[in-house]
Chain A
Amino acid sequence: MIEAINLKKSFAKPGAGKKEQPVLAVSDVSFTATDGQVTGLLGPNGAGKSTTLRMLATLIKPDEGSASIDGFDVVSDVLAVRQQLGFMPHNAGIYPRLTARENINYYAKLCGLSRNDAKQRVDALLEQLDMHGFADRRSAGFSQGQRTKVALARALVHRPQTLMLDEPTNGLDVMATRGLREIIRDLARQGHCVLFSSHIMQEVSALCDHIAVISNGRIAIADSLSGIKDRTGEDDLEDAFVRAIGETP
């Protein structure tokens, strides 16, 4: 379960002098993602999706507002939040000189799993994500789909209740995307809370039970797919999205 309340974050421009105004990346983000559901964070590039996810993942501190993961505050209870949360960032890199299995096992160890527990968990994930074909190959030559699976397995290795995926389908082909969607639906069915960010409408509408539309650093609308269509009076999610962010379709 994720709860974000009035999150705000601004950054100094890289290389900018001290007098320059900082860039407001997220101005007002509030939404809730519940267990057993896939929640989509939908927004155009630069809307503040990644910054929001980074704040929820305790990687950066919000300037204002608050957020909690399964009841733990993202500023004051950092380690507890990370224990609850599996986070797969945008373009997450894996270690090219390690095999898929070693990559996942490394994260298991870092999360404090014992040797035996880690081995079992890694085997289970290799099975669950259908990775046996390339489990013991070095990752240097992996396809984007294989890399995404390794990164996803890594994020799941410590059995987190809540999962955040930042544009996970980037660079995946149709079949790999469908496979990933199936995995995400499975995870939600098992009772996990899944937050999924994307700028692709079809993907969000095909997968998500609940959608939060983010634009210019604020949540424009947050509801179920049908709720958003009703409230904007548009039949098509794309038109609804355009109307929600304040433009005319």
Chain B
Amino acid sequence: MRFFAVMIKEIIDNLRDRQTVFYALLFGPVLLPLLLGGSIILSLKQLSIDFDEVLPLAVVNAESAPNLMEFLYSNNIDIETAPENPEKAVRDGEVPLVLKVMPGFNDAIRAARPAPVTLLVNEGDKASAKQTRRVRTLLQGYERTINALRLQHRGINPDIFNSLEISTEDTSLDGAGGQLLASLLPFLLIISMVMGGFYLAIDTTAGERERQSLEPLLGLPLKRQSLVLGKFGATMCFVGLSGMLTSLSVFILFQFFPTDIIGGGLNFDASTITKAFLVASPLVAFISAVLITVSAFTRSSKEAQTYLGVLMAIPMAPFFILQFISIRSELFTMPVPMLSQYQLLERIVLADDTPALFIILSVLGTLICAGLLLGLAIKLYSRDRILM
């Protein structure tokens, strides 16, 4: 049980290190979900249009088109008088857009000709572009109404111009933003687990060499594997804690997500997050083993940081690869650590069914890789060269 003494010492020692604690308890679990989740919520909000929200709209020459104004008003648009110089006002961002009812509008309507209106917009401004889409949709609705009236007036069935009836049905449960949000959970979880153990692993291995405390330690009457297992155990505690806290903060974060933005098919309730964490938990062993083994190769903290920094690209790789090409989750991707957890966690959040065999393969594959890496770390510590 001497590995336990090593583990306890490394945990206490590293809890006294601000950098390690910051990355394990704050960076992954709090800062990262807020930054990433927050920005995704904001961008989704910007994309989606809420037609029930009352929108003020500046209109030039509103009095010439009372029927149109009535129509807009009944669709939650508040008509306001436009500023003196509407072009400049839109360009300077004083108002997001201005609707100009052009001279001759009324005459054109009466004469059944196209009636001119102009939208002054600022395409460079996201808010303006979003409101433009809403106003344009409403104007097109008004146009259809006028068209129908004109045709009926002449005794023609307006449906004659509707030669196709196109309807789209989104069969995915989640909608466009759903896939991205679903991949957010494994991404955050894995990154914060890696960051949680990063500095502890470096401190307990490469740091030990750098402080020259490794030599007296290796001269003690205890087996090298107790030493490696103790350091591995301490790293696992930090990685696991980081993962657990991140799950908790993702759960809390998604309580603030309006369901119409997330899409009805996404699950971020307590039982889903718990299941996701449990499915991801073999990664605690795998990530700790990677961190310990890589830093055992290196001579100094700086070298370890460089190598592990490059390695950080690996946990991020599945996230980006899966954004571009969709690798279907199949039996053969399941034993691959990280990739399988990405796919499984996405399925869990999307409430797709996850076959038990997939989970078993993922757990086994990940734990076997972790075991092999740990064996390698013990071997590295048994060489003469560990002291050179």
Contact = CB atoms under 8 A, between A and B. Distances in A.
Contacts of A92: 212-213, 215-216
A106 to B, nearest CB: 5
Interface string B2-25: 100110010011001100000000
B321 interface: no
A155 interface: yes
A161 B296 CA distance: 32
Interface stretch (A93-101, A195-203, A213-221, A222-230): A93-101
Nearest to A118: B5
A244 to B, nearest CB: 29
Contacts of A151: 216
Interface stretch (A36-44, A58-66, A119-127, A179-187): A58-66
B258 interface: no
A16 B211 CA distance: 25
B213 A110 contact: no
Given A54-B387, A59-B387, A93 B212 contact: yes
Contact of A82 (B213, B221, B388): B221
A48 interface: no
A107 B220 contact: yes
Interface string A80-109: 001101011101111111100010001101
Contacts of A134: none
Given A59-B387, A95-B213, A106 B220 contact: no
A59 B9 contact: no
A85 B219 contact: yes
Interface residues of A, number: 35
Interface string B218-252: 11111100000000000000000000000000000
B387 A60 contact: yes
B384 interface: yes
Q: Tell me if B's interface is mostly helix, strand, loop or mixed.
A: helix
A60 B220 contact: no
Interface string A107-143: 1011110000000000000000000000000100000
B279 to A, nearest CB: 35
A61 B142 CA distance: 90
Contacts of A60: 384, 387
Nearest to A157: B220
Contacts of A5: none
A83 B220 CA distance: 7
A102 B12 CA distance: 10
Given A54-B387, A96-B211, A112 B219 contact: no
Given A59-B215, A95-B213, A109 B220 contact: no
Contacts of B388: 11, 14
B384 A111 contact: no
Contact of B216 (A88, A96, A97, A112): A88
A107 B6 CA distance: 9
A67 interface: no
A154 B9 contact: no
Interface string B371-388: 000000000000010011
Nearest to A154: B216
A4 to B, nearest CB: 17
B211 A95 contact: yes
Given A59-B387, A61-B384, A109-B2, A87 B216 contact: yes
Given A98-B13, A110-B2, A59 B212 contact: no
A111 B222 contact: yes
Interface string B350-388: 000000000000000000000000000000000010011
A158 B216 contact: no
A91 B215 CA distance: 10
A158 B222 CA distance: 12
B17 A97 contact: yes
Given A11-B388, A14-B388, A112 B2 contact: yes
Nearest to B6: A110
A242 interface: no
A57 B208 CA distance: 19
Nearest to A97: B16
A93 B219 contact: no
Contacts of B218: 59
Interface in B93-136: none
A24 interface: no
8 contacts: A59-B387, A91-B212, A93-B212, A94-B211, A95-B211, A109-B5, A109-B9, A138-B16
Interface of B: 2, 5-6, 9, 12-13, 16-17, 208, 211-223, 384, 387-388
Interface of A: 11, 14, 54, 57-61, 79, 82-83, 85, 87-89, 91-98, 102, 106-107, 109-112, 138, 151, 154-155, 158
Given A60-B387, A95-B9, A158-B220, 4 more contacts: A82-B221, A93-B212, A151-B216, A158-B221
